[in-house]
A and B are shown apart, each in its own frame.
Chain A
Amino acid sequence: MTSSFEVNINKDKCKGCQLCIFFCPAKHLKLSSDLNKKGVKYVAKKEASKCSGCGFCFLICPDYCIEIYESENI
Chain B
Amino acid sequence: MPNKTRPASLKNISTHYCSGCGHGILHRLVAEVIDEMKLSEKTIGVAPVGCAVVAYDYWDFDVCEAAHGRALAVATGIKRCRPQNVVFTYQGDGDLVSIGLAETFHTANRGENLTCIFINNACYGMTGGQMAPTTLVGQPTATTPWGRNPKSGEGWPVKLSEILATLSGVAFAVRSTISSPREVIKTREYIKKAFSNQIENKGFSIIEVLSPCPTIWQKSPINAMKWIDEEMVKTFPLGVIKDK
Contacts and interface: CB of A to CB of B under 8 A. Distances in A.
Interface of A: 12-13, 15-19, 22-23, 38, 40, 53-56, 58-64, 67-69
Contacts of B1: 55
B18 A15 contact: yes
A55 B23 contact: no
Nearest to B221: A17
B182 to A, nearest CB: 9
Contacts of B4: 53, 55, 58, 67-69
Interface residues of B, number: 28
A40 B215 CA distance: 16
Contacts of B25: 59-62
Interface of B: 1, 4-6, 10, 12, 14-15, 17-25, 28, 178, 180-181, 184-185, 214, 220-222, 225
Contacts of B180: 23, 60
B181 A62 contact: no
A64 to B, nearest CB: 5
Given A40-B19, A63-B15, A64-B28, A22 B222 contact: yes
Given A15-B20, A17-B20, A55-B181, A64 B6 contact: yes
Give the 6 A-B residue pairs with the shortest CB-CB distance, closest first: A62-B24, A17-B20, A15-B19, A68-B4, A17-B221, A56-B181
A13 B19 CA distance: 11
Given A64-B6, A64-B28, A68-B4, A59 B185 contact: yes
A64 B14 CA distance: 8
B28 A16 contact: no
Contacts of B12: 64
Contacts of A17: 19-20, 214, 221
A54 to B, nearest CB: 8
B14 A13 contact: yes
A73 B180 CA distance: 31
B67 to A, nearest CB: 27
Contacts of B10: 64
Nearest to A24: B181
Report which residue of B14, B18, B214 has the largest number of chain A beta carbons within 10 angstroms of its beta carbon. Answer: B14
A55 to B, nearest CB: 5
29 contacts: A12-B14, A13-B14, A15-B19, A18-B221, A19-B20, A40-B19, A54-B181, A55-B4, A55-B181, A56-B181, A58-B4, A59-B25, A59-B181, A59-B185, A60-B178, A61-B24, A62-B15, A62-B21, A62-B24, A62-B25, A63-B14, A63-B15, A63-B17, A63-B24, A64-B10, A64-B12, A64-B28, A67-B6, A69-B4
B129 to A, nearest CB: 18
A23 to B, nearest CB: 6
Given A18-B222, A64-B12, 8 more contacts: A12-B14, A17-B20, A40-B19, A55-B4, A63-B15, A63-B17, A64-B6, A69-B4
